[in-house]
Copies of this chain bind each other. A is one copy, B any other.
Amino acid sequence: MAAELTAHELIAKHRPTLDQALEAIRTRAYWSPHPEHPKAYGENGSLDAAAGKAAFDALLGGRLDLGQPGTDDWVGGEASPYGIELGVEYPHADIDVLLPAMKAGQRAWRDAGAEMRAVVCLEILKRISDRTHEFAHAVMHTSGQAFMMAFQAGGPHAQDRGLEAVAYAYVEQVRTPDTAEWTKPQGKRDPLALTKQFTPVPRGIALLIGCNTFPTWNGYPGLFASLATGNAVLVKPHPRAVLPLALTVQVARQVLAEAGFDPNLVALAAERPGEGIAKTLATRPEIRIIDYTGSTVFGDWLEANARQAQVYTEKAGVNTVIVDSTDDYKGMLSNLAFSLSLYSGQMCTTPQNLLIPRDGIRTEEGPRTFDEVAGDLARAVDGLLGDDARANALLGAIVNPDVKARLEAAAGLGEVALASREISNPEFPDAVVRTPVIVKLDGAKPDDEAAYMSECFGPVSFAVAVDSAADAVELLRRTVREKGAMTVGAYTTDSEVEQAIQEACLEEAAQLSLNLTGGVYVNQTAAFSDFHGSGGNPAANSALCDGAFVANRFRVVEVRREA
């Protein structure tokens, strides 16, 4: 069967984008080929807002038949955090049939080489990009992100992260040439001469274990890094966030088939309620790579038990912001208010602990006491979320009952500086929308420490009184070392304090944002430029994206002969 998409066409179409991505990860300047604005879509085959919404609506209540081998049942049952039932059914796989089928196409995929794999991946990303509006609704109604965030973080930003992984994977594989002539002088005798061939080979089948809050953003790096390095990829979505990854699998299978490859190189493993297939899959001998985003408990279990696989985990952490001093008090407050509010604090990068000296801070408006800072921040959040429409657009919905329960319990942990409010969503009356709570704690009290030294995932932050900037740095250091951190923020005008914070972050391997007062927030990282996590503290054993994230997903096999 002739492929509908030839290597020549795909390379001509996507090689320029790949080259731009390679340049971007080298310079780390701003770059993205994926438009952030919803109105940018609707031409050249991409769906506009109405078409994307219609495509999403057409999925509801239907069956997403991926044509996978070994489908023994149909499963589904996702309920949107916005209160609607998705009613989409997905194939349930007999893994003893599916896993062998996924291996059948690996040889041709390996032999296609790094460049062909890269441009096939870019074609998959392009088709996903064209359907960004449709994916946005799918992400919104599984994660609870507000539409615009679901659109941007679940669409172009996720696609950027996927493309970034493809670029890293490509460049890693071509560091070794396909062939080499090796000629070693032997004095007066003839030289020794060998011809050497080098082939990147995949490890086997990769397992992607998706998360509830960022199914595409956190899923695409591992998926594309594994696929681009020649592995088949089995996608095991979070049971509450299947649709975005099922659509991704669908697109990948279509593109693979059109390019002449076995579509079973990418497959979905949806599960019945309570089936818990991740543990079963993770320890199968065929699974040689695992990417996981989620709880520390299960991430640690994977690292300890999936010994046959390379395991890449992003787990829980406790993110800290040190507030020492500022020359832009209002800017700091509004920046922090936005960080705490965005997606109701349900980001792995949202600050949790705000360390503030108990004697107060210095600002360009004069000193502010600890209580004034906490109160002013509470007012900044209130101001930001005062309008219900804006609040809904920023907060999104609470993703699951556990987050709601933690939020409600948080008010009992200490003196409440800002109480959480309920916001009604006129479009989705059943959505659970809440503003963040800020609770004051004392860094020196053991009871309080039990609260601020645990991750309280959701819209919960602690204003923690510390003795001094030095005390704050010491607590930051201890928090990162013991609990991990995806992000650290700091506000200071004191160069010695800044140095101490930087040194703590360098020693504990935490990513630091300093004195953000404008339109960039500590919880956001941009593909091609920012690293997401460091891979060097307990919050994650890998960073998105770097050489280490891709280099061990394949091996290089050498065949040498006398020349």
Contact = CB atoms under 8 A, between A and B. Distances in A.
Given A534-B557, A536-B201, A557-B505, A518 B562 contact: yes
A466 to B, nearest CB: 21
Interface stretch (A26-34, A74-82, A143-151, A429-437): A26-34
Given A546-B556, A548-B551, A562 B177 contact: no
A237 B552 CA distance: 28
Interface in A520-534: 520, 526, 529-531, 534
B551 A547 contact: yes
A502 interface: yes
Given A172-B547, A552-B548, A559 B180 contact: no
A264 to B, nearest CB: 17
Contacts of A198: 28
Contacts of A175: 25-26, 546-547
Q: Considering residues A185, A303, A512, A517, which has the most beta carbons from chain B within 10 angstroms of its beta carbon?
A: A512
A107 B503 CA distance: 9
Contacts of A560: 512-514, 520, 530
A176 interface: yes
A454 interface: no
Contacts of A556: 531, 534, 543, 546
A353 interface: no
Interface residue tally on A, bucketed by range? 35 or more
Interface string A152-177: 00000000000000000000100111
A194 interface: yes
B511 A196 contact: no
A11 to B, nearest CB: 22
Interface string A182-195: 11111000001010
A199 interface: yes
A519 B185 CA distance: 12
B180 A29 contact: yes
A266 to B, nearest CB: 20
Given A27-B177, A303-B307, A515 B562 contact: yes
A196 B530 contact: yes
Contacts of A535: 552, 555
Contacts of A234: none
- Assembly stoichiometry (copies): 2
A557 to B, nearest CB: 5
B555 A177 contact: no
A557 B519 contact: no
A198 B559 CA distance: 38
Contacts of A529: 180, 182, 196
A478 to B, nearest CB: 14
A530 B198 CA distance: 10
A363 to B, nearest CB: 17
A119 interface: no
A181 interface: yes
A26 B175 CA distance: 6
B559 A505 contact: yes
Nearest to A201: B506
A492 to B, nearest CB: 11
A470 interface: no
Contacts of A511: 557-558
Given A27-B180, A199-B506, A201-B507, A559 B512 contact: yes
Nearest to A531: B558
A110 interface: yes
Nearest to A175: B547
Contact of A28 (B180, B303, B536): B180
B536 A546 contact: no
A530 B558 contact: yes
6 contacts: A180-B529, A201-B506, A513-B559, A515-B561, A548-B548, A551-B551
Given A28-B198, A303-B307, 6 more contacts: A196-B530, A201-B507, A513-B559, A513-B561, A548-B548, A548-B551
Pairs of residues from A and B, 9 with the lowest C-beta to C-beta distance, nearest first:
A536-B555, A548-B551, A28-B180, A547-B551, A548-B552, A30-B184, A514-B561, A512-B559, A509-B555
